[in-house]
């Protein structure tokens, strides 16, 4: 079996995330409903009390998935939540001025700067090799974009059919994160106007790429950051943070998101720094702006 076939099978199999997570959400909902009005100890016999206590300890969800800690979300609340996200996002420099979040910000900015410096040496190797031909055919621009959009939508519909409120909220959080990503991505692309690697001749110079793109004034067709990487990591972060009881889920979700981010580089659509900053921003937006996990 060649590499392309194995990769395609892996790609299809990852769609099972939604099904497994929906099952976990259903279990979460049953736990919450069963614990809403517990019988008093006096009403239970000794053996029943022991059994109830033991079951509660085994089945109780992890703190980060607790309904008590969940940020309120609904179709009606989405516009308000989105505006709050935007306020927090664009006022982030104020937090830096107060001395907050300096270390993670320095790591992201420093990593991006280092990759930008290395892009002119690294990118020609991806443009001039056929090593990733099968990989790029299996994980292309259209398929990755469709996957990022379809998985949350399918998850929402499945949760709606199952009357799974927790799952519906998860899908709405994903939608909120993707909307936040779209605004931030559009602004950064319009400001930086970086050329895509494919705009440059194979043997050309990759050193002077910022503010030189022929893309639209709104940043469409420009390179910095990678929107696919940003949105893929937002989706992975929402599912991973919302379903911590599935320990395998972060490996699958972030593994798939990393494959999507890498495909943007190996296919010549983005520089490594574009993919890195996109992935970092997607994670930050989903975890801190949307879920408010600290």
Give residue-wise pLDDT tens across range 58-93.
Answer: 333 444 444 445 788 999 999 999 999 999 999 999
Q: Is 288 helix (H, G, I), strand (E, B) or coil?
A: helix
The reported pLDDT for the residue numbered 78 is: 94
Residue 8 lies in a domain: no
Q: Is residue 3 part of a domain?
A: no
Please give the DSSP secondary-structure letter assigned to residue 110: H
Residue 6 belongs to a domain: no
For residue 250, give the H/E element and its range: helix 249-266
Angle at 196 between CA 277 and CA 193, to 5 degrees: 70
| Number of structural domains in the chain | 1
83-92 tens-digit pLDDT: 999 999 999 9
Separation of alpha carbons 209 and 14, rounded Å: 35
Domain that holds residue 134: 15-64+73-290
Asked whether residue 9 is domain-assigned, the answer is: no
What is the secondary structure of 128-164 as a DSSP string?
A: T--TTHHHHHHS-HHHHHHHHHHHHHHHHHHHHHTT-
User: How does 50-68 read in b/e, with b if 16+ C-beta sit within 10 Å?
Assistant: eeeeeeeeeeebeeebeee
Nearest to 234 by CA among 154, 152, 155, 111: 152
User: Is the confidence at residue 201, as pLDDT, over 50?
Assistant: yes
Say if 159 falls within a structural domain.
yes
Residue 230: band (very low, low, confident or very high) from pLDDT cuts 50, 70, 90: very high
Rounded CA-CA distance 205/209 in Å is 9
- Has residue 95 been placed in a domain? yes
In a domain, 124, yes or no: yes
Percent of the chain with pLDDT over 70: 76
């Amino acid at each position: 079996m060649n590499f392309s076939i194995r990769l395609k099978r892996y790609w299809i199999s990852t769609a099972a995330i939604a099904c497994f997570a929906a099952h976990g959400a259903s279990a979460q909902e049953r736990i919450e409903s069963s614990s809403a009005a517990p019988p008093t100890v006096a009403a239970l016999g000794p053996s029943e009390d022991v059994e109830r206590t033991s079951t509660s300890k085994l089945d109780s969800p992890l703190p980060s998935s607790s309904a008590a800690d969940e940020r309120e979300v609904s179709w009606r609340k989405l516009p308000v939540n989105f505006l709050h996200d935007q306020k927090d996002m664009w006022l982030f420099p104020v937090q830096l001025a107060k001395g907050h979040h300096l270390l993670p910000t320095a790591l992201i900015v420093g990593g991006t700067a280092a990759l930008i410096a290395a892009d002119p040496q690294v990118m020609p190797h991806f443009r001039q090799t056929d090593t990733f031909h099968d990989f790029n055919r299996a994980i292309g621009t259209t398929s990755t974009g469709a996957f990022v959009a379809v998985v949350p939508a399918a998850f929402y519909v499945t949760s709606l059919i199952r009357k799974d409120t927790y799952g519906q909220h998860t899908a709405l959080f994903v939608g909120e994160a993707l909307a936040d990503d779209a605004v931030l991505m559009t602004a950064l692309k319009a400001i930086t106007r970086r050329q895509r690697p494919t705009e440059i001749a194979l043997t050309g110079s990759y050193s002077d790429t910022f503010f030189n793109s022929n893309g639209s004034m709104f940043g469409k067709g420009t390179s910095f950051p990678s929107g696919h990487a940003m949105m893929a990591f937002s989706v992975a972060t929402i599912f991973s943070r919302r379903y911590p009881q599935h320990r395998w889920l972060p490996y699958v979700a972030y593994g798939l998101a990393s494959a999507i981010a890498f495909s943007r580089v190996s296919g010549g659509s983005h520089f490594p720094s574009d993919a890195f900053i996109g992935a970092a921003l997607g994670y930050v937006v989903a975890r801190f702006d949307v879920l408010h996990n600290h």
